[in-house]
Structure 1
Amino acid sequence: MKKNVLAILLLFAVFALFAFPAAAEDSQTDKVILVSGYGSSATSPDKVTISFGVETENPDAAIAQSENAALMAKVVAALKNAGIKDANIQTTGYTIYSYVIGEYNPGKWANGTTVYKVTNTVRIISYDVDKAGSYIDAAVEAGANNVNSLQFGLSDEKLIIERNAAIISAVKSARADADSVSSALGLKISGTGTINVGQSYTPVSYSNAEVMMAKDAAGSRVPTTIESGEIKTTATVSIVYTY
């Protein structure tokens, strides 16, 4: 009988040992205020990425290739003369395919002619965004017949600065909400618990941009003007405040 009583008492002791700390922990974690904050920072871009393409066609594949190579060489040379460094010029695509001239795709060759189309694409990166228009002019004048995409963004260094600014703004917003809640309930914030941070940054892109060379009344070319606008970086935070 005594052994049974001792066993029961021991069981209760073990239960109390694990139950009470858990209860105390629950009571502490229950004293929290969970808030979210949003922040943003806008700035002018300091990076521009442009994709140019050269397309050539000919019933003779070798001629289509050689014509394309000659034009692309001129385009690359023009871009270098405009200030683009070798390291910031990259070939991103090269394709050759054929099609047959027919009723629904007439061309300068007779119906039934097999034509080979060669497409060569290069991408440039510059940290002088004000020259975006001049890069386009230089490439088109040299023989580029496609401006595939135009994108304004931030350099790695500037992105870090903008990201930090957005996070600081989000944290201030979250703290303001926590202060409002604690004040309304007569509570006093004592510290913080879990903190989660997220950030978003989207460059301004113009895909398949149709950037044409304008002409004035006299027929002379007018420099292409490109407005970059602003780039927005956003951040969200989720903060647990204790009281």
Structure 2
Amino acid sequence: MTSEFSGKTILVTGAASGFGRLLSERLAAFGANLVLGDIDTAGLNALAANLRGSTELLRCDVSQEEEVQTLCQRAGDAFGGLDIAVNNAGFAPPMTSLLETTEDDLDRCFAVNTKGVFFGMKHQIPLMLEHGGAILNVASVAGLNAAPKLAAYAASKHAVVGLTKTAAAEFARRDIRVNAICPFFSPTPLMTDSGFADREAFLASGVPMKRLGNPEEIVETMLSILRPANTYLTGQAIAVDGGVLAL
């Protein structure tokens, strides 16, 4: 796998923490050229200090198309193109009943989770049209199934799955693979900041494996999906859930 990613130009949003940070660390160790975006510039700088190889950093709010476009342009300007993109940035509001979900939470979920993926693909795909590439959108099991008390989040992640399948079908003939990964809850800063950590035991009780997935396990699946040799996988929403959707 090391040689497969070596020299590839890879863009990751939400790179300062969670899945994005771990993935960036692994890709840097494999010798990839990285273009990393996040709203947390301090976190980006701390990450980059520990990475080897060529890395471009840029503050990026994925809900703003101009900032996403600038991030994607950085890949072309710095490395001459883009091979792989991971649209990982996300937002999750506190768990609450649909009846108590605020318009602000609904708007924020769609602005970050859905529009962020849409803007990403809109400006990443043109950089891949001549030579092909791979895009991975980070969705959620909540994008494949019911998610009580996460109505806004689930709706936005269902939209990510729809965008993923549509882009995959539209650009398959250009050798651009587009997939989504759909993890169950995993102990990342996003989960902690949204208050899910307090419910970890309850959430784990509904998983056939009786535990939540480690971030490292999710990142291993991300790497597998993104492998340049994985040439026939596209249009899929892949659940990494310890068996939840098998019930």
Give the TM-score band, short-chain normalised. Answer: under 0.3
Q: Which structure has more strand as a fraction of its residues? A: 1
TM-score by length of 2: 0.24
| Structure with more contact order per residue of length (Cα contacts < 8 Å, sep ≥ 6) | 1
Q: Which structure has more helix as a fraction of its residues? A: 2
